[in-house]
Amino acid sequence: MNRRTVLAATGAVGLGSLAGCLSDVIGSQGHDYERGTIDVTVNGEPIDLEAPRFQAENADNSSMDFHLHEGHEHWYMEGDRVTFAEGIDLLPHFAYEQMDGAHVVTIDGTVYDGRDDETDIAFTVNGDEVDPTETEIHDGDSLQLEVTTDEASDD
């Protein structure tokens, strides 16, 4: 799977690209992007996806295909349609791989490997568990990535 799709934009073109979905959010009708909600939890604790390090504005390599913006609790997709797995892989400080048929997710440098008996990784779209490598994201989708490890029962 490709790592981040690099937005090769500079100067006003780059700012204009990022501003596109933000200006539409603020009030114009008929936007050219799709958006929905996303929640990521590890052992029941939500990851603060509004933290600056996860935002397109602060990423070294940003993706218009799937991204987050400061001050907004939504995911945005302006380019090519992506699967849930590809979307996770495009976010700064996140990575997704499939190894031996199992999900492997990295969040902020911590690897969660679904091949481990003590690790469960679940992807849901609109409340239904899905295969993230097959499920494409659409406007209005509510996404959830839930990671549970044996550390959750040690607390």
- Model confidence at 25: pLDDT above 90: no
Q: Using one digit for the tens of pLDDT, what is the confidence trace for 76-127?
A: 998 889 999 999 999 999 999 999 999 999 999 999 999 999 999 999 999 9
- Model confidence at 148: pLDDT above 80: yes
Structural tokens at position 102: 């199992």
pTM, to two decimals: 0.78
- CA 33 from chain centre, in angstroms, equals 15
Rounded-to-integer distance, Cα 144 and Cα 43, Å: 13
Rounded-to-integer distance, Cα 71 and Cα 107, Å: 21
Sketch out the chain's domains with CATH numbers: 11-154 (2.170.130.30)
Rounded-to-integer distance, Cα 108 and Cα 129, Å: 24
Greatest Cα pair distance in the chain: 51
- What per-residue confidence (pLDDT) applies to 70? 80
Phi, psi (degrees; rounded to nearest 5) at 75: -95, 155
- Model confidence at 130: pLDDT above 90: yes
- Model confidence at 2: pLDDT above 50: no
Residues 6 or more apart in contact with residue 67 via CB below 8 angstroms: 55, 56, 59, 75, 76, 77, 90, 91
Q: Which amino acid is at 142?
A: S
